Structure 1
């Protein structure tokens, strides 16, 4: 029946007051003023900078094996002596002045943090936790065990997690069998409730779990879940799906409902899942779950929580430019939670409501709603986290309500991340526990009705950028079904046009004289995608004559008009986004995300360079002295020859071509013979955007055409991306001045890299393994920025290599039309042959520990890992352009940096470390153009990470940076004496 929210308020205050009295005089263990943890949290809550450093130190502490390391990292994180002194206030400050004293301090600190972790972790194993779980049961508290563990980066680890869950269920059943009867904990309005409950994370059951591939994810997760559900039905035991990151929400719901709809599990009444109130779509999700449950005919449990991933999800979504799917303000979440509470209680006939909260107001609200509905006390339960809000736990039990504690079980190492989340939760400004037990807020405030500031459905987080500012085009969110459908439809649409001739207008008043180039699908070489007319060097004189005629009109056109054409082209790319990405999937073998990202980057280049040209288009006054006027202006150089690669077939050409065009140059664009269709599509889009005929000439052809463009005396600019050898040849040719040539050619060349990632002994290996795999297998390693060397500290070398080996065995390889394929084919047979040659070199130089050689049609090659590589080996020095990773060992971080720098290249590099000192050393000494810290080393974004290297990695300004356009223009300064006959114009 409907409940008037206003009528609930007096009852909420009455219940809240009573519960406060029942828990009076006690404080949660974490806030016990006699404990070291209270002092530590008190400092954290009063000093935000200290809080960040403290939690980062606590996060790295478990991997520090020796007291000396702990002391060193303690000093690195808290080198400020005042702050370090605060850490040592419990009585050992005097000892910190000596090496021995530092070790004793470190040992004591580790012990204190481990004790703090013990407040939240019930035991390292189920056997160790058995006594605590038994004590909880005897105190009238049920439990839901959560097995902590490393992030799953391989199928070996996914199997291990499944087996741990199976073992835990058996051990818990054996332990629970000896517990005394407890009617409140063992029965509700629907019947018996199992004594045993296990909470699971689906992300731990499949290393390749990804919302882009719901079908493949379901198959893999369901295969590991079925044995758990079979055992849970026989014990019996409850199985609860934890809800994780926002991107996995819909996938989690789909897996849950689909699996529980299978005949074997359709009647299982003890399955459930957590639902997050902070998600904007949760009300809709709950409505659908209730309808599905009614159709299914068996109840489910819904654990309603406010949500534990708000900070990380919000940051990730903002980073990606996606609408944040979570409520912005805590009051909005609180209102949503209370509304959902009423819905769940209203449907207690089919739903087992479980309210996960440590908030007095939230508890009192649920109690009040249940009272208004005249529900029996066993019709719902409360859930809290083991080690948190113990006084509130006691009050719930005293009221005769069922209470279940979420009890983590696992080793300290993985448990530390859990501890950090709990510390963040407890020290948050919005934390109820902080408000009650630290700030001692009045009861009326604690029980006040949440008042949101705006519409729950429509309010979005504020953004700092103005509408006119450049914003990166967001990559597609493939967790959305509509986006996946758009991409699949585009691939099918493009498939319907295969075999056609693709071309752009040729300005030489006759057809190009080259033979048609037959374009094939690298996944299926027998499949012809289309044909493209090609240009020969013999066609170049006529092309150049046409280009020279267009220099003046295009250069003299107002910069604002050129800018507008670039913006129209960007708008057209947005409209045709999935069509363009589909062509890249088929022509270049790019997986969905790689293809989509390439289109987004192309849009970025158009808009970023357009905006930059607006800034450079008008003359700029220099100086402010009276009597003179100095103005700096820029003008186009003339004809730009753009020689583009195939691996980023739209983004890189768009960047080079648009930079040349928007600055007023006429462009002769030779797309790679491995990517001619996408190159022609770029020409078509610019023409449709209003680019005058002949200002851009798309010239498909072979290497001989590229050489002719470089050597032609009328080429004023040569913009090139490709191999080192080709780039050096271009630089040599450009230095030669031909007959009648009156300019020095400007060369902008990106020439590749031999990029390294360093993993030190403090690294988060979950992140490091995933980051290295992404960096060397992304687009099959066919990126100049790809990782080809990983340099690992000897202390973690063997463990890292083992986990890396297992991880790459799990990477899915197949035709990129399949969204589940993480790796597609090499671009052609020549590229595949090159990789195979380097594998054989690796067998001679080191030890090949992984070689996922593929068979069948297509140019497929899986990841290759070669260990025991030394600095002088070819695998340590030569660019391979394929998924071949050389593993090198370092004794310390300085040696690792020396190894990383010991190549001819300086393009990208990465470091995985949690040592502030090492990270600072990397910033100072890692000699690369783009350094990435604790993240993959590919995927630079225009404007945010301008891209380019030095040494033999290239010459010129960074692409996607403020200086890039200047290379395509010449600068002129006009200085005028404005003082005439003693008079000067007013400034």
Structure 2
């Protein structure tokens, strides 16, 4: 199977051949188990005599609440620069945990002594137990002492997994392991580069490491010398498939230069594996380096391959072919993989066809064994088997027989007992330690990943220390396990399409990292853009309106000209009249019929994603990823409101006295006017319309004047799906069309998304009407803030800020407008943020590499440019405009001293930065509340108490913790604000449809016709 075909293929299709490759006959299995049993005994003996820290980590593993607490401390504590936030983190984590439950549970004195200390500390920090003298002692002495103790503990934990803070220190510590027969591959700690200076710094670290390792190399013995592992994401700030051409052009030569340096130094260079989306790009870069004449004949180039990826066997086939082509033996490190949970989550969020990884641990074990056998059979691969599993080791030794032209690998801090036993028993075997090097601050993300990977209940390393687990359980045959499951995926991990169970199907996403998906999509978009575009009023299914006018200036880049016929006042009056006459029949048709129409529309929209994406990109300036998300959200709205209609519009039986029947019904209000914005021309448009229709209303829909073509396509699709033409009408045009609709006496409800100013104007018009009191369902904008304290991870903050403030050119209601960053980390966050901004690509949104297109029109551009001019003296950072002409507003950051300087919402890619001091979070929240807006709020903090304080005090509709502030998912994160930001209820939530309906109750006296038969017939007790 090709790499592309295997990417997200069904697990059974892949596992059946892998099981055949990994399986062994009964006699061979017996020999393997016998050898593995001896290895397990040696490992258990080593574990019993292991140092106190190893036993400490075993006691507080991640299956315990206290283990999670320690993990959270390890992840955040060392990077916090100020004492106040550090103390808050300690109180937050150590205080509530039940440390006493672990007292006496370990045979190690160190573990029990540490647990006693944690128990006392927890009591000191817990609320209600710091009274009198004890409270005073904690205030004067306790927190500084505890802080120092926690810092020492974190450094101690870090030392378990990190070889040294510098490469020189790492080499010094490695000497003792080398004397015991271990080789080393050093990994310079650090997550992916966010900025060009970050990448340059990591490159310098790698070059220094190569020079240092070269001084310890063994001349003529490449495999016996230390090696270096490199992360490509650390060497380029935009190492991602969408930037393929740029990455190959810029990163390719860098990788070659490191290869040349490693070759000259006499050491090996291995490219680490990362997220699945980057796999094919990494293979391209690796092949580029392998084929370069400068590295011809050098066998030191290596690559890590993740067995949990479904593409692993195909990758190995490709590497074997590359080795044969270039006349070399490629060093391949086979690992299980360390990003499993995030791979599952990303696929679910994006609604992709399947998972790139196996969903069961046993399936990954089978894949590992099958890949290992393939590597042993490949003459142009040098196998390096990274495993701590005794059964896997025994199996590989059985297959290798007398061969020793391979090596095992282990993580520093793990598997010493296993491999010391092996090396002592066979001096021809080789084991290389994967040895991280870096500061304790850089350790954080790595440490968490290692503990998660090796501390999980399913981990073999953890399992051998569980007394209740039998040897048969520990050494269970993964092939037999997968066979018993019939090679089926995990039942509790549904495919992304089935994420919401049987209630509704998840919308279909597109994996833009897969060229087999991206290439036909781009071709389909190009074909769609060749078609002529037009829009007109649709009244009773027929096109009408004023004389057509061009929507766009032909000079605007990437914006196709559309001929639009706006609705007239007469069109508006006629549409409402027809809709009012049709509404009772549509309401009487019942929720089931209405829901069926919406589901058919969702299916049609799924099928025509490319067509609607083309409109979103060219009419609204959406980037390709944003256009995918736009269509998906619209599909989700249709399916979710269909579901809610069936659930909410069934008659409800109410309790009452005997002989009486009371029933509550929801019915449509009448004609609903839906007025939608240009920033989500499909999702919000169709969301409003679908909700109103689902509730039994007829609808007159007015799209924004900038995006009538999308509205025209959406209404046509709903008609095709079965919504009667007399029930749904399209009235494109400007404010005058909206005013004509609202003035009609038969309009019974209004749904509006747009500016606060317009919402207030609509509200006044409705209030002044002499007719019925008409509900207004309004969603408006906000001065949305993100609060960042010093416990936050700056790299994560910057990632989420780039998305929240600048994706969609900042033209989202939920976009981050304000950053409140704690003074202690502000300089670091700002520098990283500005560098990440510099890496953004502005230009034609129809190109896959574009991060940000133009703003919606010239008027919007001018408003934003005027704002930047007003604050020119406060401008902290700003990008240059792209070379191409158009309505571009390059991302900018403005520093403010006080939030009151910002009047109203700035709807575009402009972020306003304010600093705050530790201890003054209440002032930050008060300033946010003082704006009167209340749409979205972001919090980046590792302190639960801080998050809870913000949740309690902030008057905001949607709060996002340690993630981006945009991209609310229908039915998962209902969206809508309060105060100046909207009326509620939240779109995509369980209460939304009810606002479009009115309640009616029917009470019937059942005794009025012959008495209460049911009561009289009741049996005596």
Which residue matches 1:642?
674
Match of 1:692?
724
Match of 2:848 in 1: 819
Is 1:335 matched with 2:366?
A: yes
Instruction: Pick one of 503, 517, 522 that aligns with 1:469.
Output: 503
Deviations 1:311-345 (A, max 9, x none): 33233334444423322222222222222211111
Please show how residues 851-890 of structure 1 align to structure 2 within 5 Å: 851-874=879-902, 877-890=903-916
Does residue 935 (structure 1) correspond to residue 963 (structure 2)? The answer is yes
CA distance in 2, matches of 1:660, 1:91: 61
Please give the alpha-carbon distance, in whole angstroms, between the structure 1 residues aligned to 2:149 and 2:467. 29
Of 784-793 and 115-124, deviating more is: 115-124
Alpha-carbon spacing, 1:656–1:397, altered in 2? closer, same or farther (3 Å): same
SS at match of 2:752: strand
CA separation of 1:24/1:327 partners in 2, compared to 1, >3 Å: closer, same or farther? closer
C-alpha separation in 2, matches of 1:93 and 1:616: 50
1:56-135 residue pairs with structure 2 within 5 A? Answer: 56-65=72-81, 69-80=85-96, 82-83=98-99, 89-91=115-117, 96=124, 97=134, 98-99=137-138, 100-135=141-176
* Among 251, 257, 271, the residue aligned to 1:221: 251
Q: What is aligned with 1:775?
A: 804
What CA distance in whole angstroms lies between the structure 2 residues aligned with 1:81 and 1:265?
55
Alignment partner for residue 308 of structure 1, among 318, 338, 342?
Answer: 338
Counterpart selection for 1:247 from 269, 277, 282: 277
CA contact (8 A) 1:504 1:683 kept: no
Quote the residue 1:480 is aligned against: 514
1:286: how far off?
1.9
Q: Secondary structure at the match of 1:528?
A: coil
Shift in Å, 1:131:
0.9
Q: How many pairs are equivalent?
A: 959
2:788·2:941 contact (CA, 8 Å) conserved in 1? yes
1:56-88 alpha-carbon deviations (Å, 9 max, x no partner): 122111123356654432221132374279695
Distance 2:846 2:358 in 1: 35
Following the alignment from structure 1 to structure 2, what is the Cα–Cα distance between the partners of residues 2 and 659?
53
Shift of the alpha carbon at 1:919?
0.9
CA contact (8 A) 2:895 2:912 kept: yes
Residues 362-412 of structure 1 deviation map (CA, whole Å, 9 limit, x = unaligned): 1111111110xx42x2x1011111121212221232212121111100010
Q: CA deviation at 1:679?
A: 1.0
1:5 to 24, 30, 35: 24
Q: Secondary structure at the match of 2:238?
A: coil
Q: 1:160 is matched with which residue?
A: 201
> CA separation of 1:670/1:496 partners in 2, compared to 1, >3 Å: closer, same or farther?
same
| CA deviation string 1:184-229 (max 9, x = no partner) | xx65xxxx53724211112222222323443344334324323212
Aligned position for 1:798: 827
CA contact (8 A) 1:360 1:446 kept: no
The answer on whether the counterparts of 2:779 and 2:983 sit within 8 Å (CA) in structure 1 is yes
How far did 1:758 drift?
0.1
Match of 1:44 among 26, 36, 61: 61
Contact residue 303 and residue 332 of structure 2 kept, 8 A: yes
Counterpart for residue 524 of structure 1? 557
1:563 is the counterpart of 2:595: yes
The alpha carbon displacement at 1:93 in A equals 6.2
Aligned partner (choices 733, 744, 747) of residue 712 of structure 1: 744
The alignment status of 1:383 with 2:409, answered yes or no, reads yes
The worse-fitting range, judged by mean Cα deviation, of 927-936 and 715-724 is: 715-724
Q: Which runs of 5+ in 2 are unaligned?
A: 1-19, 103-112, 125-133, 1016-1021
* CA distance, structure 2, for counterparts of residue 2 and residue 563 of structure 1: 49
Maintained 8 Å contact 2:32/2:391: yes
Structure 2 counterparts to residues 293-692 of structure 1, below 5 A: 293-322=323-352, 323-347=354-378, 349-371=379-401, 374-375=402-403, 377=404, 379-398=405-424, 399-400=426-427, 401-439=429-467, 441=469, 443=471, 445-450=473-478, 451-454=480-483, 459-463=489-493, 467-497=501-531, 499-503=532-536, 505-507=538-540, 511-519=544-552, 524=557, 528-692=560-724
Q: Is the 8 A contact 1:813 1:824 kept in 2?
A: yes
- 2:551 is paired with a residue of what secondary structure? strand
CA RMSD of aligned residues (A): 2.7
The residue number in structure 2 matching 1:728 is: 760
| CA offsets 1:732-765 (integer angstroms, 9 cap, x no match) | 0010124xx3x22221111111100000111111
For the structure 1 residues 336 and 983, does the alpha-carbon distance in structure 2 shift closer, same or farther, using more than 3 Å as the test? same
State the shift of 1:122 in Å: 1.1
**CA deviation after TM superposition for structure 1 residue 275, in Å:** 1.1
Deviation at 1:618, TM superposition (A): 2.7
Q: What is the aligned partner in structure 1 of residue 999 from structure 2? A: 971
The 10-residue stretch of structure 1 (767-776 or 850-859) with the greater mean CA deviation from structure 2: 850-859
- Asked if 2 retains the 8 angstrom alpha-carbon contact of 1:328 and 1:461, the reply is no
Single out whichever of 954-963 and 503-512 deviates more from structure 2.
503-512
* Separation in structure 1 between the aligned mates of residue 689 and residue 44 of structure 2, nearest angstrom: 72
Measured after TM superposition, the shift of residue 304 of structure 1 is: 0.8
8 Å contact kept, 1:470–1:607 = yes
Q: Distance in 2 between matches of 1:381 and 1:636?
A: 71
Of 786-795 and 848-857, deviating more is 848-857
Structure 1 unpaired stretches of 5+ = none
Residue 984 and residue 263 in structure 1: after superposition, are their counterparts in 2 closer, same or farther (change >3 A)?
farther
Q: Match for residue 756 of structure 1?
A: 785
Using the TM superposition, name which of 901-910 and 274-283 deviates more: 274-283
8 Å contact kept, 2:557–2:884: no
- The CA distance in 1 between the partners of 2:487 and 2:303, in whole Å, is 23
User: Do the aligned residues in 2 keep the contact of 1:867 with 1:887 (CA within 8 Å)?
Assistant: yes
Between the aligned partners of 1:659 and 1:92, the Cα distance in structure 2 is 54
- Where does residue 129 of structure 2 map in the other structure? none
